[in-house]
Chains A and B, each alone.
Chain A
Protein backbone atom coordinates (compact mmCIF):
# COMPACT_ATOMS: atom_id res chain seq x y z
CA UNK A 1 0.00 0.00 0.00
CA UNK A 2 2.85 2.32 0.85
CA UNK A 3 4.44 2.16 -2.58
CA UNK A 4 1.07 2.80 -4.20
CA UNK A 5 0.66 5.90 -2.08
CA UNK A 6 4.21 7.00 -2.97
CA UNK A 7 3.43 6.57 -6.66
CA UNK A 8 0.25 8.59 -6.29
CA UNK A 9 2.04 11.32 -4.36
CA UNK A 10 4.73 11.50 -7.05
CA UNK A 11 2.17 11.66 -9.83
CA UNK A 12 0.21 14.40 -8.13
CA UNK A 13 3.39 16.40 -7.50
CA UNK A 14 4.38 16.13 -11.17
CA UNK A 15 0.93 17.24 -12.36
CA UNK A 16 0.95 20.13 -9.93
CA UNK A 17 4.39 21.22 -11.17
CA UNK A 18 3.28 21.00 -14.79
CA UNK A 19 0.22 23.06 -13.94
CA UNK A 20 2.33 25.70 -12.17
CA UNK A 21 4.71 25.79 -15.15
CA UNK A 22 1.81 26.44 -17.52
CA UNK A 23 0.34 29.14 -15.30
CA UNK A 24 3.76 30.78 -15.11
CA UNK A 25 4.02 30.69 -18.91
CA UNK A 26 0.62 32.37 -19.21
CA UNK A 27 1.66 35.01 -16.69
CA UNK A 28 4.89 35.69 -18.58
CA UNK A 29 3.04 36.00 -21.90
CA UNK A 30 0.80 38.54 -20.18
CA UNK A 31 3.89 40.69 -19.65
CA UNK A 32 4.66 41.00 -23.37
CA UNK A 33 2.74 44.27 -23.72
CA UNK A 34 4.73 45.78 -20.87
CA UNK A 35 7.96 44.58 -22.46
CA UNK A 36 7.18 46.51 -25.64
CA UNK A 37 7.05 49.67 -23.54
CA UNK A 38 10.36 48.85 -21.83
CA UNK A 39 12.70 47.38 -24.48
CA UNK A 40 15.68 48.22 -22.25
CA UNK A 41 14.85 45.26 -19.98
CA UNK A 42 15.08 42.93 -22.98
CA UNK A 43 18.38 44.46 -24.04
CA UNK A 44 20.03 43.66 -20.70
CA UNK A 45 18.81 40.08 -20.85
CA UNK A 46 19.94 39.63 -24.45
CA UNK A 47 23.36 40.63 -23.17
CA UNK A 48 23.51 38.08 -20.37
CA UNK A 49 21.62 35.28 -22.10
CA UNK A 50 22.78 35.74 -25.68
CA UNK A 51 26.04 37.65 -25.98
CA UNK A 52 27.81 35.94 -23.09
CA UNK A 53 26.92 32.52 -24.53
CA UNK A 54 28.45 33.30 -27.93
CA UNK A 55 31.99 32.34 -26.96
CA UNK A 56 31.27 28.77 -25.84
CA UNK A 57 28.96 28.30 -28.84
CA UNK A 58 31.58 29.57 -31.26
CA UNK A 59 34.38 27.42 -29.87
CA UNK A 60 32.21 24.29 -29.76
CA UNK A 61 30.92 24.96 -33.26
CA UNK A 62 34.38 25.16 -34.76
CA UNK A 63 35.56 22.03 -32.99
CA UNK A 64 32.45 19.99 -33.75
CA UNK A 65 32.82 20.99 -37.39
CA UNK A 66 36.48 19.99 -37.43
CA UNK A 67 35.73 16.60 -35.87
CA UNK A 68 32.94 16.07 -38.41
CA UNK A 69 35.43 16.89 -41.14
CA UNK A 70 37.95 14.35 -39.85
CA UNK A 71 35.46 11.58 -39.13
CA UNK A 72 33.49 12.20 -42.31
CA UNK A 73 36.64 12.15 -44.42
CA UNK A 74 37.77 8.91 -42.79
CA UNK A 75 34.48 7.14 -43.53
CA UNK A 76 33.73 8.71 -46.92
CA UNK A 77 37.22 8.06 -48.30
CA UNK A 78 36.62 4.33 -47.82
CA UNK A 79 33.93 4.60 -50.48
CA UNK A 80 35.81 7.12 -52.58
CA UNK A 81 33.15 9.71 -51.81
CA UNK A 82 35.26 12.49 -50.26
CA UNK A 83 33.51 14.89 -52.63
CA UNK A 84 30.38 14.69 -50.50
CA UNK A 85 32.22 15.74 -47.33
CA UNK A 86 30.67 19.21 -47.50
CA UNK A 87 27.17 17.78 -47.72
CA UNK A 88 27.79 15.48 -44.76
CA UNK A 89 29.22 18.23 -42.57
CA UNK A 90 26.58 20.79 -43.47
CA UNK A 91 23.63 18.41 -43.25
CA UNK A 92 24.62 17.05 -39.84
CA UNK A 93 25.21 20.56 -38.52
CA UNK A 94 22.19 22.32 -39.95
CA UNK A 95 19.69 19.56 -39.29
CA UNK A 96 20.85 18.04 -36.01
CA UNK A 97 23.98 19.15 -34.26
CA UNK A 98 23.48 22.89 -34.66
CA UNK A 99 20.12 23.10 -32.86
CA UNK A 100 20.72 20.25 -30.40
CA UNK A 101 24.28 20.97 -29.23
CA UNK A 102 23.49 24.68 -29.03
CA UNK A 103 20.47 23.91 -26.86
CA UNK A 104 22.49 21.62 -24.58
CA UNK A 105 25.23 24.24 -24.19
CA UNK A 106 22.62 26.94 -23.73
CA UNK A 107 21.00 24.95 -20.92
CA UNK A 108 24.37 24.55 -19.25
CA UNK A 109 25.60 28.11 -19.73
CA UNK A 110 22.53 30.37 -19.78
CA UNK A 111 19.79 28.16 -18.32
CA UNK A 112 21.66 27.37 -15.13
CA UNK A 113 22.53 31.05 -14.68
CA UNK A 114 18.89 32.06 -15.17
CA UNK A 115 17.66 29.50 -12.65
CA UNK A 116 20.27 30.46 -10.07
CA UNK A 117 19.62 34.18 -10.51
CA UNK A 118 15.85 33.90 -10.22
CA UNK A 119 16.14 31.37 -7.38
CA UNK A 120 18.38 33.73 -5.42
CA UNK A 121 16.03 36.64 -6.11
CA UNK A 122 13.31 34.53 -4.58
CA UNK A 123 15.45 33.36 -1.63
CA UNK A 124 16.52 36.93 -0.81
CA UNK A 125 12.91 38.09 -1.22
CA UNK A 126 13.66 40.52 -4.01
CA UNK A 127 10.65 39.21 -5.92
CA UNK A 128 8.40 39.83 -2.91
CA UNK A 129 10.01 43.27 -2.62
CA UNK A 130 8.97 44.10 -6.17
CA UNK A 131 5.48 42.92 -5.40
CA UNK A 132 5.38 45.17 -2.34
CA UNK A 133 6.15 48.11 -4.65
CA UNK A 134 3.20 47.09 -6.84
CA UNK A 135 5.51 45.88 -9.62
CA UNK A 136 4.53 42.54 -11.09
CA UNK A 137 7.75 40.47 -10.76
CA UNK A 138 6.62 37.96 -13.37
CA UNK A 139 6.20 40.70 -15.97
CA UNK A 140 9.20 42.75 -14.95
CA UNK A 141 11.75 40.02 -14.20
CA UNK A 142 10.67 36.86 -16.00
CA UNK A 143 9.17 37.98 -19.33
CA UNK A 144 12.34 39.75 -20.62
CA UNK A 145 14.38 36.65 -19.80
CA UNK A 146 11.96 34.36 -21.63
CA UNK A 147 11.90 36.54 -24.75
CA UNK A 148 15.68 36.95 -24.71
CA UNK A 149 16.14 33.16 -24.55
CA UNK A 150 13.70 32.53 -27.40
CA UNK A 151 15.35 35.19 -29.58
CA UNK A 152 18.91 34.11 -28.78
CA UNK A 153 18.63 30.40 -29.43
CA UNK A 154 18.09 30.45 -33.24
CA UNK A 155 20.81 33.07 -33.65
CA UNK A 156 23.24 31.02 -31.55
CA UNK A 157 22.36 27.85 -33.47
CA UNK A 158 22.95 29.63 -36.79
CA UNK A 159 26.34 30.84 -35.54
CA UNK A 160 27.18 27.31 -34.41
CA UNK A 161 26.29 25.81 -37.79
CA UNK A 162 28.13 28.46 -39.76
CA UNK A 163 31.33 28.10 -37.74
CA UNK A 164 30.99 24.30 -37.91
CA UNK A 165 30.80 24.42 -41.70
CA UNK A 166 33.98 26.50 -41.70
CA UNK A 167 35.59 24.09 -39.21
CA UNK A 168 34.81 21.17 -41.51
CA UNK A 169 36.08 23.21 -44.44
CA UNK A 170 39.35 23.92 -42.62
CA UNK A 171 39.98 20.23 -41.93
CA UNK A 172 38.60 18.82 -45.18
CA UNK A 173 39.90 21.37 -47.67
CA UNK A 174 42.79 22.83 -45.75
CA UNK A 175 44.36 19.76 -44.18
CA UNK A 176 43.06 16.70 -46.04
CA UNK A 177 42.99 18.06 -49.56
CA UNK A 178 39.32 17.87 -50.56
CA UNK A 179 38.69 20.18 -53.49
CA UNK A 180 37.48 23.61 -52.39
CA UNK A 181 34.93 24.03 -55.17
CA UNK A 182 33.53 20.53 -54.69
CA UNK A 183 33.09 21.07 -50.96
CA UNK A 184 30.85 24.11 -51.46
CA UNK A 185 29.16 23.11 -54.73
CA UNK A 186 28.04 19.68 -53.48
CA UNK A 187 26.78 21.33 -50.31
CA UNK A 188 24.77 23.91 -52.20
CA UNK A 189 23.21 21.37 -54.52
CA UNK A 190 22.21 18.96 -51.75
CA UNK A 191 21.17 21.16 -48.82
CA UNK A 192 17.72 22.60 -49.22
CA UNK A 193 16.94 26.02 -47.83
CA UNK A 194 13.50 25.16 -46.53
CA UNK A 195 13.82 21.42 -45.80
CA UNK A 196 17.16 21.53 -44.01
CA UNK A 197 17.99 25.06 -42.88
CA UNK A 198 14.39 26.12 -42.23
CA UNK A 199 13.55 23.05 -40.18
CA UNK A 200 16.76 23.50 -38.21
CA UNK A 201 15.70 27.04 -37.34
CA UNK A 202 12.23 25.82 -36.28
CA UNK A 203 13.91 23.24 -34.05
CA UNK A 204 16.11 25.82 -32.39
CA UNK A 205 13.16 28.15 -31.73
CA UNK A 206 11.30 25.28 -30.04
CA UNK A 207 14.40 24.42 -28.00
CA UNK A 208 14.73 28.09 -27.07
CA UNK A 209 11.20 28.16 -25.68
CA UNK A 210 11.63 24.88 -23.79
CA UNK A 211 15.07 25.55 -22.30
CA UNK A 212 14.28 29.08 -21.14
CA UNK A 213 10.89 28.06 -19.84
CA UNK A 214 12.38 25.22 -17.79
CA UNK A 215 15.16 27.44 -16.42
CA UNK A 216 12.81 30.24 -15.40
CA UNK A 217 10.26 27.88 -13.91
CA UNK A 218 12.85 25.96 -11.88
CA UNK A 219 14.26 29.22 -10.53
CA UNK A 220 10.86 30.68 -9.75
CA UNK A 221 9.50 27.47 -8.26
CA UNK A 222 12.54 26.59 -6.13
CA UNK A 223 12.58 26.16 -2.37
CA UNK A 224 13.98 29.53 -1.24
CA UNK A 225 17.06 28.21 0.52
CA UNK A 226 20.64 27.73 -0.67
CA UNK A 227 19.99 24.03 -1.05
CA UNK A 228 16.79 24.71 -2.99
CA UNK A 229 18.60 27.04 -5.40
CA UNK A 230 21.34 24.50 -6.02
CA UNK A 231 18.74 21.82 -6.70
CA UNK A 232 16.88 24.11 -9.07
CA UNK A 233 20.08 24.75 -11.01
CA UNK A 234 20.83 21.05 -11.32
CA UNK A 235 17.27 20.27 -12.32
CA UNK A 236 17.35 22.98 -14.97
CA UNK A 237 20.30 21.42 -16.74
CA UNK A 238 19.04 17.84 -16.42
CA UNK A 239 15.44 18.56 -17.42
CA UNK A 240 16.43 20.87 -20.28
CA UNK A 241 18.85 18.32 -21.71
CA UNK A 242 16.31 15.50 -21.50
CA UNK A 243 13.57 17.68 -22.96
CA UNK A 244 15.80 18.79 -25.83
CA UNK A 245 16.86 15.25 -26.72
CA UNK A 246 13.32 13.88 -26.47
CA UNK A 247 11.77 16.76 -28.42
CA UNK A 248 14.50 16.49 -31.03
CA UNK A 249 13.42 12.95 -31.80
CA UNK A 250 9.77 13.96 -32.07
CA UNK A 251 10.52 17.01 -34.23
CA UNK A 252 12.83 15.06 -36.51
CA UNK A 253 10.22 12.35 -36.95
CA UNK A 254 7.60 14.98 -37.79
CA UNK A 255 9.76 17.04 -40.14
CA UNK A 256 11.87 14.62 -42.11
CA UNK A 257 9.62 11.61 -42.62
Chain B
Protein backbone atom coordinates (compact mmCIF):
# COMPACT_ATOMS: atom_id res chain seq x y z
CA UNK B 1 0.00 0.00 0.00
CA UNK B 2 1.43 3.37 -0.98
CA UNK B 3 2.09 5.97 1.66
CA UNK B 4 -0.44 8.46 0.24
CA UNK B 5 -3.12 5.82 0.29
CA UNK B 6 -2.36 5.07 3.91
CA UNK B 7 -2.65 8.76 4.77
CA UNK B 8 -5.91 8.96 2.86
CA UNK B 9 -7.34 6.06 4.83
CA UNK B 10 -6.28 7.51 8.18
CA UNK B 11 -7.66 10.96 7.38
CA UNK B 12 -10.87 9.39 6.12
CA UNK B 13 -11.22 7.43 9.33
CA UNK B 14 -10.56 10.57 11.39
CA UNK B 15 -13.19 12.61 9.56
CA UNK B 16 -15.70 9.78 9.74
CA UNK B 17 -15.08 9.32 13.48
CA UNK B 18 -15.43 13.06 14.08
CA UNK B 19 -18.73 13.30 12.27
CA UNK B 20 -19.93 10.13 13.95
CA UNK B 21 -19.18 11.74 17.31
CA UNK B 22 -21.12 14.87 16.31
CA UNK B 23 -24.01 12.68 15.18
CA UNK B 24 -23.85 10.83 18.49
CA UNK B 25 -23.94 14.12 20.40
CA UNK B 26 -26.96 15.19 18.38
CA UNK B 27 -29.00 12.02 18.59
CA UNK B 28 -27.96 10.32 21.82
CA UNK B 29 -26.90 13.17 24.11
CA UNK B 30 -29.12 16.07 23.08
CA UNK B 31 -32.82 16.32 22.47
CA UNK B 32 -32.60 16.25 18.67
CA UNK B 33 -33.32 12.53 18.64
CA UNK B 34 -36.30 12.80 20.95
CA UNK B 35 -37.89 15.88 19.45
CA UNK B 36 -41.01 14.73 17.70
CA UNK B 37 -40.49 16.00 14.21
CA UNK B 38 -44.02 15.04 13.19
CA UNK B 39 -46.83 17.53 12.91
CA UNK B 40 -48.60 18.89 15.93
CA UNK B 41 -51.69 20.97 16.49
CA UNK B 42 -51.84 23.83 18.96
CA UNK B 43 -54.20 24.15 21.89
CA UNK B 44 -54.42 27.10 24.28
CA UNK B 45 -54.64 26.79 28.05
CA UNK B 46 -55.03 29.74 30.42
CA UNK B 47 -53.53 29.53 33.88
CA UNK B 48 -53.70 31.91 36.86
CA UNK B 49 -50.09 31.08 37.59
CA UNK B 50 -47.74 29.00 35.49
CA UNK B 51 -45.07 28.71 38.19
CA UNK B 52 -41.84 27.39 36.67
CA UNK B 53 -43.33 26.11 33.42
CA UNK B 54 -41.03 26.81 30.47
CA UNK B 55 -41.20 26.65 26.71
CA UNK B 56 -40.44 23.05 25.64
CA UNK B 57 -41.72 21.60 28.91
CA UNK B 58 -43.51 18.32 28.22
CA UNK B 59 -47.27 17.88 28.02
CA UNK B 60 -48.33 14.48 29.30
CA UNK B 61 -51.50 12.44 29.35
CA UNK B 62 -51.58 9.43 31.68
CA UNK B 63 -47.84 9.96 32.11
CA UNK B 64 -47.10 9.62 28.40
CA UNK B 65 -45.64 12.62 26.61
CA UNK B 66 -48.19 13.78 24.05
CA UNK B 67 -46.79 17.22 23.27
CA UNK B 68 -44.64 20.15 24.27
CA UNK B 69 -45.26 23.71 25.47
CA UNK B 70 -44.58 25.84 22.41
CA UNK B 71 -45.04 29.32 23.80
CA UNK B 72 -45.99 31.11 26.98
CA UNK B 73 -47.27 34.66 27.12
CA UNK B 74 -49.19 36.99 29.36
CA UNK B 75 -52.70 38.05 28.45
CA UNK B 76 -53.12 41.62 29.64
CA UNK B 77 -56.94 41.50 29.34
CA UNK B 78 -57.70 38.86 31.94
CA UNK B 79 -54.39 38.96 33.81
CA UNK B 80 -53.65 35.30 33.16
CA UNK B 81 -50.84 33.40 31.52
CA UNK B 82 -51.53 31.62 28.25
CA UNK B 83 -49.60 28.45 27.46
CA UNK B 84 -49.64 27.33 23.85
CA UNK B 85 -49.48 23.54 23.85
CA UNK B 86 -48.35 21.68 20.75
CA UNK B 87 -50.03 18.26 20.81
CA UNK B 88 -48.59 15.66 18.42
CA UNK B 89 -51.01 14.93 15.60
CA UNK B 90 -51.29 11.23 16.32
CA UNK B 91 -53.10 12.06 19.58
CA UNK B 92 -56.19 13.49 17.91
CA UNK B 93 -58.87 11.96 20.12
CA UNK B 94 -58.41 14.04 23.29
CA UNK B 95 -61.86 15.23 24.50
CA UNK B 96 -62.39 18.98 24.49
CA UNK B 97 -63.42 19.12 28.17
CA UNK B 98 -59.97 17.87 29.16
CA UNK B 99 -58.56 19.26 32.37
CA UNK B 100 -55.04 20.76 32.26
CA UNK B 101 -52.93 21.21 35.37
CA UNK B 102 -49.35 22.15 36.01
CA UNK B 103 -47.53 19.43 37.90
CA UNK B 104 -44.02 18.99 39.23
CA UNK B 105 -41.88 15.95 38.51
CA UNK B 106 -40.55 14.99 41.93
CA UNK B 107 -40.25 17.42 44.79
CA UNK B 108 -37.79 19.77 43.10
CA UNK B 109 -38.10 18.56 39.52
CA UNK B 110 -39.14 20.50 36.48
CA UNK B 111 -42.74 21.42 35.89
CA UNK B 112 -44.91 20.02 33.14
CA UNK B 113 -48.51 20.15 31.96
CA UNK B 114 -50.60 17.11 32.84
CA UNK B 115 -53.84 16.48 30.97
CA UNK B 116 -56.81 14.64 32.51
CA UNK B 117 -59.20 13.58 29.75
CA UNK B 118 -62.87 14.45 30.17
CA UNK B 119 -65.89 12.61 28.77
CA UNK B 120 -66.93 14.84 25.90
CA UNK B 121 -67.66 13.51 22.42
CA UNK B 122 -65.97 16.54 20.85
CA UNK B 123 -62.19 16.39 20.48
CA UNK B 124 -59.53 19.08 20.82
CA UNK B 125 -58.61 20.62 17.48
CA UNK B 126 -56.13 23.19 16.17
CA UNK B 127 -56.77 26.44 18.06
CA UNK B 128 -59.20 25.06 20.64
CA UNK B 129 -58.92 26.21 24.20
CA UNK B 130 -58.83 24.11 27.34
CA UNK B 131 -61.49 25.55 29.65
CA UNK B 132 -60.65 24.00 33.01
CA UNK B 133 -57.13 24.45 34.32
CA UNK B 134 -55.32 24.27 37.60
CA UNK B 135 -52.38 26.52 38.34
CA UNK B 136 -48.96 25.55 39.44
CA UNK B 137 -48.47 24.82 43.08
CA UNK B 138 -46.38 27.61 44.56
CA UNK B 139 -44.56 26.25 47.57
CA UNK B 140 -44.57 29.55 49.49
CA UNK B 141 -48.36 29.84 49.18
CA UNK B 142 -48.91 26.31 50.43
CA UNK B 143 -46.61 26.88 53.38
CA UNK B 144 -48.29 30.24 54.03
CA UNK B 145 -51.72 28.62 54.06
CA UNK B 146 -50.48 25.92 56.38
CA UNK B 147 -49.03 28.42 58.83
CA UNK B 148 -52.18 30.52 58.62
CA UNK B 149 -54.30 27.44 59.34
CA UNK B 150 -52.13 26.52 62.34
CA UNK B 151 -52.43 30.09 63.66
CA UNK B 152 -56.24 29.89 63.35
CA UNK B 153 -56.25 26.62 65.24
CA UNK B 154 -54.13 28.17 67.99
CA UNK B 155 -56.49 31.12 68.29
CA UNK B 156 -59.54 28.91 68.73
Q: Which residues of A contact B (CB under 8 A)?
A: 40, 43-44, 46-47, 50-51, 54, 90, 94, 152, 154-156, 158-159, 161-163, 165, 184, 187-193, 196-197, 201
Contacts and interface: CB of A to CB of B under 8 A. Distances in A.
B30 A159 contact: no
A90 B26 CA distance: 12
A38 B98 CA distance: 65
Interface in B1-59: 4, 7-8, 10-11, 13-15, 17-19, 21-22, 24-26, 28-35, 58
B31 A193 contact: yes
B14 A54 contact: yes
B29 A90 contact: yes
12 contacts: A47-B10, A50-B14, A94-B29, A155-B14, A155-B19, A158-B24, A161-B21, A162-B29, A188-B28, A191-B29, A193-B30, A197-B30
A151 B14 CA distance: 11
A193 B32 CA distance: 6
Interface string B96-123: 0000000000000000000000000000
A196 B32 CA distance: 11
Contacts of A188: 28-31, 33-34
The size bracket of the interface on B is 20 to 34
A158 B18 CA distance: 6
B25 to A, nearest CB: 5
Nearest to A89: B29
A43 B7 contact: yes
A103 to B, nearest CB: 15
B25 A162 contact: yes
B30 A156 contact: no
Contacts of A192: 30-31
Nearest to B32: A193
A163 B28 CA distance: 13
Q: Which 9 A-B pairs have the closest CB atoms?
A: A155-B18, A158-B21, A193-B32, A162-B21, A193-B30, A158-B22, A191-B30, A51-B14, A159-B21
Greatest chain B CB density within 10 A among A94, A184, A188 is at A188
B34 A189 contact: yes
Nearest to A48: B7
Nearest to A148: B11
Nearest to A47: B7
A234 B6 CA distance: 32
A192 to B, nearest CB: 6
Contacts of A47: 7, 10-11
Contacts of A152: 14, 18
A162 B58 CA distance: 26
Contacts of A54: 14, 17
A184 B28 contact: yes
Nearest to A189: B31
**Quick one: which of B11, B13, B32 has the most chain A CB within 10 A?**
B11
Contacts of B22: 154-155, 158, 197, 201
A46 B14 CA distance: 9
A162 B11 contact: no
B57 to A, nearest CB: 10
Nearest to A53: B14
A68 to B, nearest CB: 14
A196 B30 contact: yes
Nearest to B58: A189
